[in-house]
């Protein structure tokens, strides 16, 4: 392989050309080789592998696969402009992936491989297997930090442990950021030497993953993600702290699907927010001092970072286990009818049903409502959080293991920095507070749209006739006694 200067970039959840660390280093390596008198074999080749077996086992939602394919199409065109062909390969399952990557490198005379690390257990093991295969073959494979701002393991407590509480973790990230003088955001690479290879056409769909969510709800590609970020920064970020909890408002960025597929990076998000921070003060970090909306939004982006660090530092969460082992002793309800009613948005609690129906119709749910629906499932119905986690993953366009697992374990009080077990949201109070005019309920539960006044939040309080006329279920459980049951169950495992 001596004399070959081609580099292979393996794209996974980083489908963009700007601020893509692996792409940056692959292109940099090729330029360095050419500058050192490299031959005409120079150039960069891109690879994406479709792995239906892995996607099924990891519960990829059809909407997420659809967004991946549409984003790949944009990525392929962007890369072609840089003379980088994007090859699309297939592997049956994750175990077959290392051989496919090595075979691609060999076939196209690539001496080095660059990829951005993923931190879920199966994915981290796969990457270790790829590196080992490349070493055996005498080739170089390098993983890069990209999905996060700070490599998991680089932000630790004074005792050298991973943080398990968000606020000190955030403080440590901010200190890192200040010491490093900010975050590095890579530009798109310059045009590369031609390889003579043609990009592989991106398939329109993958067998078994046909999405019912309209694609125009979530346009694909990096350019769209950047436009969405700019629009949010220009119009909404300053009001983020006030508006973010109201599901009927367009108060949040809706960037989560783009962060999940990597059409945008967390560094680009934070950089854009920092550029909008016009209240910088010497000696104070602009990550936590400035307009409230801006610093609050940055903090939310760092929650994502926190959960990724937890995924890397505590691999048991990737094996379906609770972060707090004592909670494994809870005996959850196996009421399948309740679970099915929750999935379909037929629980009889309007705010819960609105959220679950938003998930089915948009592939997305507002954060406040994710918490309400998750708490209702795990506390009022007392159904295992893992069953809700799976349903969310199977339906979310932004399905992302670290955030989904973190959000579910937080809501179920089984996780790190979780909501205390006795602080259970009352869905009706939440509904009255955060959807006071019921705009969100009316949109997603149209059979209740005609109810005036606060009864729309609790239609079981309506008098007999108007209530009988509604094509809407009675509540599955009594909110107060089901709440007590959950508290007692948690108390019992603490005392055991």
Ligand X SMILES: Cc1cc2nc3c(=O)[nH]c(=O)nc-3n(C[C@H](O)[C@H](O)[C@H](O)COP(=O)(O)OP(=O)(O)OC[C@H]3O[C@@H](n4cnc5c(N)ncnc54)[C@H](O)[C@@H]3O)c2cc1C
Residues designated catalytic = 300, 303, 332, 367, 385, 408
- Least distance to ligand X, CB of residue 3, Å: 44
Here the tokens at position 354 are: 């609105």
CA torsion through residues 147, 152, 155, 157, sign: positive
Question: At residue 15, what are phi and psi to the nearest 5 degrees?
Answer: -85, 70
- Interface with ligand X includes 68 (CB under 6 A)? no
Here the tokens at position 43 are: 């150039």
* x-or-dash string of contact with ligand X, 331-370, rule CB under 6 A: ------------------------------------x--x
- Least distance to ligand X, CB of residue 365, Å: 7
Q: Which parts of 36-82 fold into alpha helices (H)?
A: 52-57, 62-81
- Interface with ligand X includes 396 (CB under 6 A)? yes
> Torsion angle of alpha carbons 461, 463, 469, 470, nearest 10°?
-10
Buried b (16+ CB within 10 A) or exposed e, 240-263: bbeebbbbbbebbbbbbbbbbbbb
Q: Which of 115, 209, 246, 303 binds ligand X (CB under 6 A)?
A: 303
- Least distance to ligand X, CB of residue 397, Å: 9
Whichever of 88 and 402 has its CB closer to ligand X, that residue is 402
- Interface with ligand X includes 295 (CB under 6 A)? no
Query: How many amino acids of this chain bind ligand X (CB under 6 A)?
Result: 28
- 301: Cβ contacts below 8 Å, ≥ 6 apart: 266, 269, 270, 273
Whichever of 8 and 261 has its CB closer to ligand X, that residue is 261
- Interface with ligand X includes 254 (CB under 6 A)? yes
- 54: Cβ contacts below 8 Å, ≥ 6 apart: 91, 93, 94, 97, 122
Please choose, out of 137-145, 210-218, 248-256, 347-355, the segment that lies near ligand X by the rule CB under 6 A.
248-256
- Interface with ligand X includes 13 (CB under 6 A)? no
Residue 45 in 3-state DSSP? strand
- Interface with ligand X includes 253 (CB under 6 A)? yes
**Cα(145)–Cα(143) distance, rounded to whole angstroms?**
7
- Interface with ligand X includes 407 (CB under 6 A)? yes
CB 211 within 8 A of CB 63: yes
Q: Which of 105, 371, 424, 486 binds ligand X (CB under 6 A)?
A: 371
Whichever of 104 and 378 has its CB closer to ligand X, that residue is 378
Write out the residues near ligand X by the rule CB under 6 A. 244, 252-256, 259-260, 300-301, 303-304, 307, 367, 370-371, 374, 392, 396, 398-400, 403-404, 406-408, 411
């Amino acid at each position: 392989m001596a004399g070959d200067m081609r580099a292979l970039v393996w794209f996974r959840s980083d489908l963009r050309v700007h601020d893509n660390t692996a792409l940056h280093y692959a292109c940099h390596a090729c330029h360095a080789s050419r500058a050192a008198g490299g031959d005409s074999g120079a150039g960069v080749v891109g690879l994406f592998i479709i792995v239906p077996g892995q996607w099924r086992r990891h519960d990829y939602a059809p909407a997420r696969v659809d967004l991946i394919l549409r984003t790949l199409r944009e990525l392929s065109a962007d890369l072609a402009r840089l003379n980088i062909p994007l090859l699309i390969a297939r592997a049956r399952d994750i175990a077959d992936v290392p051989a496919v990557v090595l075979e691609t490198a060999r076939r196209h005379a690539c001496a080095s491989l660059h990829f951005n690390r993923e931190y879920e257990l199966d994915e981290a093991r796969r990457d270790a297997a790829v590196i080992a295969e490349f070493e055996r073959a005498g080739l170089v494979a390098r993983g890069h930090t990209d999905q996060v701002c700070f490599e998991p393991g680089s932000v630790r407590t004074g005792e050298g442990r991973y943080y398990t509480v968000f606020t000190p973790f955030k403080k440590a990230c901010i200190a890192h950021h200040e010491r490093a003088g900010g975050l590095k955001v890579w530009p798109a690479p310059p045009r590369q030497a031609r390889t003579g290879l043609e990009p592989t056409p991106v398939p329109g769909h993958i067998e078994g993953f046909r999405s019912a969510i309209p694609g125009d709800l979530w346009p694909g590609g990096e350019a769209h993600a950047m436009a969405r970020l700019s629009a949010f920064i220009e119009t909404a970020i300053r009001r983020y702290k006030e508006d973010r909890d109201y599901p009927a408002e367009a108060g949040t960025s809706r960037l989560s699907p783009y962060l999940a597929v990597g059409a945008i990076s967390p560094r680009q998000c934070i950089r854009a927010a920092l550029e909008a921070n016009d209240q910088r003060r010497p000696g104070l970090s602009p990550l936590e001092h400035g307009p409230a909306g801006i610093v609050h939004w940055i903090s939310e982006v760092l929650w994502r970072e926190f959960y990724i660090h937890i995924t890397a530092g505590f691999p048991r969460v990737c094996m379906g286990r609770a972060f707090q082992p004592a909670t494994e002793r809870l005996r959850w309800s196996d009421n399948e009818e309740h679970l099915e009613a929750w999935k379909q948005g037929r629980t009889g609690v309007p705010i819960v049903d609105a959220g679950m129906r938003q998930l089915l119709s948009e592939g997305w749910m507002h954060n406040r409502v994710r918490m309400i629906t998750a708490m209702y499932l795990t506390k009022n119905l007392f159904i295992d959080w893992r069953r809700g986690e799976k349903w969310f993953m199977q339906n979310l366009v932004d399905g992302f293991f670290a955030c989904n697992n973190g959000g579910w374990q937080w809501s179920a009080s089984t996780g790190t920095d979780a909501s205390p077990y006795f602080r259970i949201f009352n869905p009706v109070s939440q509904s009255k507070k955060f959807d006071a005019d019921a705009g969100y309920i009316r949109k997603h539960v149209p059979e209740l749209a005609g109810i005036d006044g606060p009864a729309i939040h609790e239609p079981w309080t309506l008098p007999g006739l108007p209530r009988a006329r509604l094509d809407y279920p009675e509540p599955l459980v009594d909110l107060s006694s089901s709440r007590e049951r959950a508290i007692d169950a948690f108390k019992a495992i603490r005392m055991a």
